[in-house]
Amino acid sequence: MLTHDTALIYGRYLRQSLRSRFALFFGVLMPLLYLLFFGPLLTGLPLGGRGSSWQVLVPGLLLQLGLFGASFAGFAIIMENGQGVVERMRVTPVSRLALLLGRVLRDATVFVFQAVLLVLAALVMGLRAPLPGVLIGFAFVALLTVSLASLSYALAMKVRTPQEFGPAVNALTLPMMLLSGLMLPMTLGPAWLDVLSRFIPFRYLVDAVRDAYVGSYATAHMLYGVLVAVAFAALAVTVGTRVFRTAGA
């Protein structure tokens, strides 16, 4: 029942995304601009022995794609709430978990597709990374998307208006971006900043994907990244499902 319901919701929203091809390709524009204009600046810089400039930058851009895209996914719920779509779905026998999973799996599909486009562009510009490492990066993008999209939908169900939702998401995502080492490894900064960044779960995902891109899979960074990503996804889906079940009750 859950699988069937999830597949129905997933198919509905995936078809909506496929009809909006402009939004599908526009979503990858910002990481591509970073790739084109920021990547060449890193060439030749000492990067702490973590690989070439592309092996440092591209993993950060992949996770940036999931961070910003998934965090703002809740805008769609706000629009649907205004049109009564969510309420009509909630009065059906469809599983509340399926209502959430169908949406976040659609989001994960879209952002992994955009991540593939980003990696292809990076390969043209000089990225060299092992295929298993690239695939691991896509898996982390999918897990991050599931986590942040679930929390984004939960927040949107609570605040109800774009004027409340937008500033709240910005206030959360900006520190995550700055303290996770998306652009450069945090070990290059002062010690106090490196220590502070260790309280940001997102950092462990960035470090894990960077290890994967240089072919290092059995590392502490990879272990911590996997544990944090899986635990974060499980917690976020649980919170999101609870909100879908109780909001407006």
Number of structural domains the chain divides into: 1
pLDDT, tens digit (0-9, with 9 covering 90-100), for 54-108: 888 889 889 988 898 899 888 888 888 777 776 777 666 677 788 889 999 999 9
Q: Is the pLDDT of residue 19 over 60?
A: yes
- pLDDT confidence of residue 187: 78
The overall pTM is greater than 0.95: no
Burial string for 33-68 (b: 16+ CB within 10 Å, else e) reads: ebbeeebeeeeeeebeebbbbbbbbbbbbbbbbbbb
Q: Is the pLDDT of residue 249 over 50?
A: no
How far apart are the C-alpha atoms of 7 and 206, rounded to whole Å? 30
pLDDT, tens digit (0-9, with 9 covering 90-100), for 53-66: 788 888 988 998 88
Q: What percent of the chain has pLDDT over 70?
A: 92
What is the residue range of 179's domain?
A: 2-246
Q: Return the structure tokens found at 204.
A: 């462990």
Q: Average pLDDT for residues 206-235, to the nearest whole number?
A: 94
Q: Return the structure tokens found at 48.
A: 């702490």
pLDDT band at 36 (very low <50, low <70, confident <90, very high): confident
